[in-house]
Amino acid sequence: MSFESLGLSHNIIHSVKKLGYLKPFPIQEQAIPVILQGKDLMGIAQTGSGKTACFVMPILEKLQNAEVKKDRNIQVLILVPTRELAIQIDEVFRAFTDNLKREIRTMAVYGGVSINPQMKGMFGVEVLIATPGRLLDLIDHKALSISGIQHLVIDEADKMFQLGFGEEMNKLFAQMPVMKQTTLFSATLDDKVSEMKERLSINPTLIEIKKEEVEIDNIEQLAYHVSPENKGPFLRYLIKEKKVEKALIFVSSTKSADSLVEKLKKNKIKAVAIHSQKSQGARRNNLEEFKVNGAQILVATDLIGRGIHIESLPCVINYELPRSPLDYIHRIGRTGRAGEKGTAINILTDDELQHFRVIQKKMGKKVTLQRTEGIDLHGY
């Protein structure tokens, strides 16, 4: 199936080709026609499945033919759980707007930064990407109204509840019109997400992309068994001897992230970290340092790592295993995207071996464990 067959105009198709997309992902093939028809939709899909473009393209398709409205009444609202995801989605919107019939103003708003510039910039915004808390603040300041939105998108709906945004979401729902198009995306369909669907009084078309359809087949998975005291030296050995030019390393805590970055820097490996204890400005600067300015390693926690977007990432390293098999898929799904090959490396101690077996079983794919006893780690 091609993008042309999905009902998109040549304006959108031009942007698609310019961005280098060759064919739609499975979720895009199924979801884009439904959204274009104005129907409610619930999509269950994993990280890296192409779900963001599922709603970005149809929304822009409709807005480019709509009358321009210069006021503070938002037409399209996209709710997200994290600031990083808000920024990422705004970037995707901007990437698709080059060849539209008219300019469409989008804006991402989130906490951790001054609210004043966001209030001043709200006039004329048609697509607002927002975290729940900051959106409520802006509404309280009468900077905008969501009483007339035409399309509501909730991305990573399951994460909303994991981060405790249930009360904020209900306050926002109470201010929205009943008649609107609603699109929900979630990695899982649990009770809380089902309750959200009921709260919104919708009966959406359900599209579920099974986990095995996410492109982990493009990812070479490696696992190394090390002693606890050799974990750090072996990581540095891998980076230097295997000439790892760019890698995203996952750890389980902010303390581990900062500690690992310091040890890498002491060994002349340029590394930066992003996690919830860093300011928004520090996160943005460190991400830019990794994407553009030559940092070799980006260290991240699951909470922050799930929301970031990095083009053509060749390698992901699990320095500490995630808690769940689903989080493992989220992590390694950062590489091997859009048909490219990727590598996922796991550095495991005795305590992590059983958990890694569980991950492999849930994933349905065995990863051969490689021994490291014969490797000389002196000097690392």
Closest by CA to 209, choosing from 22, 362, 46, is: 46
259 and 144 part of one domain: no
* pLDDT confidence of residue 88: 80
Q: Residue 305 falls within a domain, yes or no?
A: yes
Q: Say whether both 198 and 323 belong to one domain.
A: no
Specify the pLDDT at position 215: 65
What backbone torsions phi and psi does residue 350 show, to the nearest 5 degrees?
A: -55, -40
Residues 220 and 140 in one domain: no
Q: Residue 28 maps to which CATH number?
A: 3.40.50.300
Same domain, 162 and 42: yes
Here the tokens at position 65 are 């033919």
Each as own residue / partner, the long-range contacts of residues 279-288 (CB below 8 Å, 24 or more positions apart, any chain) are 279/112, 280/83, 280/110, 280/112, 280/113, 281/113, 283/83, 283/84, 284/87
The answer to whether residues 172 and 256 belong to one domain is no
Contact 63, 103 (CB under 8 A): no
Q: What is the pLDDT of residue 40?
A: 94
Identity at 313, one-letter amino acid code: L
Query: Which pLDDT score, from 0 to 100, does residue 25 have?
Result: 83
Examine residue 378 and state whether it is found in any structural domain, yes or no: no
The per-residue pLDDT for 19 is 67
- Cβ–Cβ under 8 Å, residues 272 and 290: yes
161 and 228 share a domain? no
Residue at a domain's end among 151, 183, 209: 209
Q: How far apart are CA 249 and CA 130, in angstroms?
A: 27
Question: How far apart are alpha carbons 201 and 198 in whole angstroms?
Answer: 5
For 96, 231, 367, the CA distances from 184, given in Å and listed in that order, are: 21, 40, 34
**Shared domain check, 198 and 106:** yes
Q: Of 209, 235, 264, which closes a domain?
A: 209
Determine, yes or no, domain membership for 379: no
Residue 376 lies in a domain: no
- How far apart are alpha carbons 225 and 119 in whole angstroms? 52
Condensed to tens digits (0 to 9), the pLDDT of residues 226-284 reads 999 999 999 999 999 988 989 999 998 888 999 999 999 999 999 999 986 787 688 88
Residue 377 resides in a domain? no
Q: Are 152 and 77 in contact (CB under 8 A)?
A: yes
- Say yes or no: 20 and 125 in one domain: yes
Residue 279 lies in a domain: yes
Domain boundary among 188, 209, 230: 209
DSSP state at residue 229: G
In a domain, 380, yes or no: no
Q: Provide the domain count of the chain.
A: 2
Residues 124 and 158 in one domain: yes
Q: Is 192 left (phi over 0), alpha (psi -120 to 50) or beta?
A: alpha
pLDDT in tens, the chain (380 residues): 888 899 999 889 888 877 667 788 889 999 999 999 999 999 988 665 678 889 999 999 999 988 887 888 999 999 999 888 898 888 889 878 877 888 899 999 999 899 999 999 999 999 999 999 999 999 999 999 999 999 999 999 888 888 899 899 999 999 999 899 999 998 888 888 888 888 787 889 999 887 544 567 889 999 999 999 999 999 999 999 988 989 999 998 888 999 999 999 999 999 999 986 787 688 889 988 998 878 999 999 876 665 577 878 999 999 999 877 877 988 898 898 777 889 999 999 999 999 999 999 888 889 999 989 889 998 88
Q: Residues 197, 268: one domain?
A: no
Query: Domain span at residue 295?
Result: 215-371
User: In this structure, how many other beta carbons lie within 10 angstroms of the beta carbon of residue 275?
Assistant: 22
Residues 140 and 254 placed together within one structural domain of the fold: no
Whether 29 and 176 map to the same domain: the answer is yes
- Encoding tokens for residue 54? 């599922």
Which H or E run includes 247? Answer: strand 247-250
How far, in Å, CA of 82 to CA of 134, rounded? Answer: 11
CB 338 within 8 A of CB 313: no
**Cα within 13 Å of Cα(236), Cβ side:** 22
